[in-house]
Amino acid sequence: MSVALISIGSNLGNSKENVTAAIKALGKLDDCRMLAFSSLYLTKPWGYKEQPDFINCACKLETGLDPLTLLHCMQKLEQDFHRVRNLKYGPRTLDLDLIAFDDLVMHTKELILPHPHLHERAFVLVPLCQIAGDFVISQHNQTVNELCSKLTCEQKNEVKICD
């Protein structure tokens, strides 16, 4: 079995319900078991700024699936939540990103592991610190906690735990 780190986000519809439902759905995928999930965080948009704030969290999944099969299952879940891909970094009902998969380094047209922008994104790192701080991101040869410590105060202040 492998360990996958997944970032979950939503800023359309009932975002809290979407994220919570996605956590449950990921844990019910064939040959997968939810090991941990973070609190929900209110975060500022990244990339395209002219959109509502996001609800984000992270999860740690044990899986017997290979990375591409897991990615396809995640994309199917996004479709089930009526995700529309018409604007890069735009608003969405559900966004699932495969952040890391064990210590695998992979670079294909379809999937790059670890996620190429994870070290820049407080909305990914802060929730991951809560559940997988000691996880080593192979491409950076640093733990999630170490990568998170390099974020600026401004970046960290854009990630607030939800009440």
Catalytic residue list contains 95 = yes
Task: Return the amino acid letter for 75.
Answer: Q
Q: Is 32 helix (H, G, I), strand (E, B) or coil?
A: strand
Choosing from 30, 53, 95, 103, the catalytic residue is 95
How far is it between the farthest Cα atoms of the chain?
A: 40
Which residue shows structure tokens 């979950």? 8
Catalytic residue list contains 92 = yes
Choosing from 92, 103, 134, 163, the catalytic residue is 92
Choosing from 53, 83, 102, 103, the catalytic residue is 83
Catalytic residue list contains 33 = no
Catalytic residue list contains 121 = no
Q: Is 90 helix (H, G, I), strand (E, B) or coil?
A: coil
Choosing from 80, 85, 97, 103, the catalytic residue is 97
Taking the C-alpha atoms of residue 154 and residue 163, their distance in angstroms, rounded to an integer, is 21
Would you please indicate which residues are annotated as catalytic (active-site) residues? Answer: 83, 92, 95, 97
